[in-house]
Amino acid sequence: MNDFSEGTSIIEGSPKMKSRSIVILALLVTVTAGFVIFAADPAAAEKKSLGAKTIAPPAPAWLICTYDAEGKPNMMTASWVGMACSKPPCVTISLREATYTFGNIKEHEAYTVNIPSDKLAAATAYAGVVSGRDTDKFADTGLTAVKSELVDAPYIEECELVIECRLIKTVELGLHTMFIGEIIDVKANEEILGENGSPDPAKHKPFIWSIGGYGFYGLGGRIGGVGELADKFRE
Ligand SMILES: Cc1cc2nc3c(=O)[nH]c(=O)nc-3n(C[C@H](O)[C@H](O)[C@H](O)COP(=O)(O)O)c2cc1C
């Protein structure tokens, strides 16, 4: 029978060798335990690489309004958008040069961001699948363009939340160009404001876009696919 008090040990050799062996053994145990814990973590095992893509749901679906060279108002849907700076207050939108809106912003150095409520979901879908180069999207959707008194761009009367922007910087990134606009004013309909004076999502009822064909989702769930919603205004 082993009696460890009498100096028998599972590690044989001089005391120096023994202590080295103990350190190596401890390291081995730690590394093995770490590997076992990592390999057993179900969350780590379930992750699947989706590649270097522009996937960051949920995405906004905002309506960007501009004037063309003749002064015709236009609206387009944009998801690659976001707040960028609080002082000065700035918001960015990233557009392909092929959009009509791109040239309009270059021409007038201004745009408005109109954050639609779910009742404007069909118009938002439509503004994202047809171009102002080919049609008058305000006439098609029956929405009303109001001339901003602060920037050289229109906004949508029926949209309860509007941000008026003056272009301050353009960053060419590749397929998309990022326009950085200084926020000159934010206008909201009284009925969507909460007690603290800010827009209350429960009253405003904004919605998001789920990339990958999943469509628009409001606070109460799915509203519909972009194609089927846009059909409401297609001939
Ligand atoms: C939900 C949604 C989001 C979109 N986001 C963008 C965007 O961020 N940038 C962009 O260049 N085009 C985006 N598009 C495509 C434009 O809205 C589309 O090309 C539109 O016809 C351009 O309108 P315009 O030519 O009148 O400017 C989006 C379309 C949809 C349906």
Confidence at residue 211, expressed as pLDDT on a 0 to 100 scale: 80
- Over the chain, what is the mean pLDDT? 88
pLDDT at site 34: 52
Tell me the C-alpha distance between 198 and 140, whole Å: 32
Q: How far is C-alpha 37 from the geometric centre of its chain's CA atoms?
A: 35
How far apart are the CA of 6 and the centre of ligand 1, in A? 82
Phi/psi for 3 (5° steps) reads -125, 100
Q: What phi and psi values does residue 122 have, to the nearest 5 degrees?
A: -65, -40
| Pocket lining: 61 vs ligand 1, CB cutoff 6 Å | yes
Which mutation among 77, 211, 233, 234 tests ligand 1's pocket best, with the greatest number of atoms within 8 A of CB?
A: 77
Position 21, amino acid:
S
> Looking at this protein, which amino acid is placed at residue 148?
S
For residues 221 and 215, the answer to whether their CB atoms sit within 8 Å is no
| Predicted confidence (pLDDT) at residue 181 exceeds the cutoff of 60 | yes
pLDDT > 90? residue 2? no
Which string of b and e fits 93-109 if b means at least 16 CB within 10 Å? bbbeeebbbbbbbeebb
pLDDT band at 145; cut points 50, 70, 90: very high
What is the position in ligand 1's atom list of the atom closest to the CA of 125?
31
Q: For residue 131, count CB atoms less than 10 angstroms from its CB and return exposed for 0-12, middle for 13-18, buried for 19 or more.
A: middle
Ligand 1 lined by 74 (C-beta under 6 Å): yes
Asked if residue 64 lies in contact with residue 110, where contact means CB atoms within 8 angstroms, the answer is no
Over 80: is that where the pLDDT of 169 sits? yes
The answer to whether the CB of 63 is under 6 A from ligand 1 is no
Question: Is the separation of the CB atoms in 195 and 147 below 8 Å?
Answer: no
Mutate to test the pocket of ligand 1, among 99, 138, 156, 208 (most ligand atoms within 8 A of CB): 99
Question: If you measure from the C-alpha of residue 78 to the centroid of ligand 1, how many angstroms do you get, rounded to a whole number?
Answer: 5
pLDDT of residue 212: 73
Of the candidates 40, 41, 44, 128, the residue with the CA atom closest to the CA atom of residue 79: 128
What residue spans define the domains of the chain? 4-46, 59-218
Q: Whose CA is nearest to atom 7 of ligand 1?
A: 78
Quick check: CB of 96 below 6 Å from ligand 1? yes
For residue 28, the model assigns a pLDDT of 61
Question: What's the rounded mean pLDDT across residues 105-118?
Answer: 98
Residue 146: closest CA among 181, 189, 182, 179 = 189
Q: Which atom in ligand 1 lies closest to the alpha carbon of residue 81? A: 8
The pLDDT > 90 percentage for the chain reads: 76
Query: Greater confidence, 222 or 27?
Result: 222
Residue nearest to atom 20 of ligand 1 (CA): 128
Rounded to whole angstroms, the Cα distance separating 126 from 35 reads 52
Residue 84 C-beta-side C-alpha neighbours within 13 Å: 18
pLDDT of res. 21: 59
> Distance, CA 136 to ligand 1 centroid (Å)?
15
- The string of DSSP codes covering 87-113 is TTEEEEEEEETTSHHHHHHHHHSEEEE
Spatial distance between the Cα atoms of 228 and 104, rounded to a whole number of angstroms: 28
Atom of ligand 1 nearest to the CA of 128: 17
The verdict on whether omega for the bond into residue 58 sits within 30 degrees of 0, i.e. cis, is: yes
Mean pLDDT (whole number) for 66-82: 98
- Closest-CA residue, ligand 1 atom 29, reads 128
Q: Give me the CATH code for the 59-218 domain, please.
A: 2.30.110.10
66 lines ligand 1 (CB under 6 A): no
